[in-house]
Amino acid sequence: MEEIRQGRYVARVARGAGDVARAQALRGEAFLGAAGARDADAHDAACLHLLVEEVDGGRLVCCFRVLLLEDGAEIARSYSAQFYELSALAAFEGRMAEMGRFCVRPGLNDPDILRLAWAAMTRLVDAHGVAMLFGCSSFRGVDAGPYLDAFAVLGARHLAPRRWWPRVKAPAVFRFDERLRRHKPDLKAAMRHMPPLLRTYLMMGGWVSDHAVIDRQMGTLHVFTGVEIGAIPAARARMLRALAG
């Protein structure tokens, strides 16, 4: 993938071990809350790593990784498969891409960073003929309390199609239906607490699991999220491709 320059930022694929180490350091700061820490695992070696940097000075401001799968038969290779029982997706016949470890440098809230990251992802999806994008969308912390409205909205409006239904595998989960059957969500509060990445997935017609995994190692709650590329609303697809250039 060729680099994409927009305004103050440039997006590109990591070119070697040094770039991957920089991404791992940013992930450590974002996920572990410690400058100098590195977030790394065995999945890094199998992934493409995408970086968003400042044009002036080259400071890394955002990164994520992408695992490309030929079809659903390879779903067990994914990071998500550690936490969700994904055998239904093994029947998916198109190419798939798992987007993971998405993070922005703490303290930066420039929406142009997110737009450029999605432009890079769109270009990658088109270049590889990806038919489904998926991953784990994370909520900070392991207490579901602040996210009850968000989870209620996800459970009522955005659950996965039955043919692709992600089932429970992790030992600790928060089940939307069991816990929120009588909860009437505040829609404004729900959107306020919805992670920006997940909001973007939902605007593309994305869907989620019926439960959140309580991941104490990473200090997050996360939901399995999928987007079928062919089902993205036409206006949203045009906007993404316009960003990708």
What is the model's pTM?
0.94
* Residue in this structure with the two tokens 């450029």, named with its chain if needed: 116
Of the listed ranges 81-85, 168-172, 187-191, the least confidently predicted one is 187-191
Note the pLDDT of residue 245.
Answer: 82
Note the pLDDT of residue 77.
Answer: 97
**Mind listing the pLDDT tens digit for each residue in 32-62?**
887 788 999 999 999 999 999 999 999 999 9
Q: At residue 232, what is the residue type? A: I
Note the pLDDT of residue 123.
Answer: 96
**Mind listing the pLDDT tens digit for each residue in 81-107?**
999 999 999 999 999 999 999 999 999
Confidence of residue 1 (pLDDT cuts 50, 70, 90): confident
Q: Tokens for 120?
A: 């890079």
The pLDDT of residue 143 is above 90:
yes
Task: Report the C-alpha gap between 43 and 90 in whole angstroms.
Answer: 19
Note the pLDDT of residue 244.
Answer: 87
The angle, 0 to 180 degrees and rounded to 10, between the axes of the packed helices 234-244 and 111-128 is 100
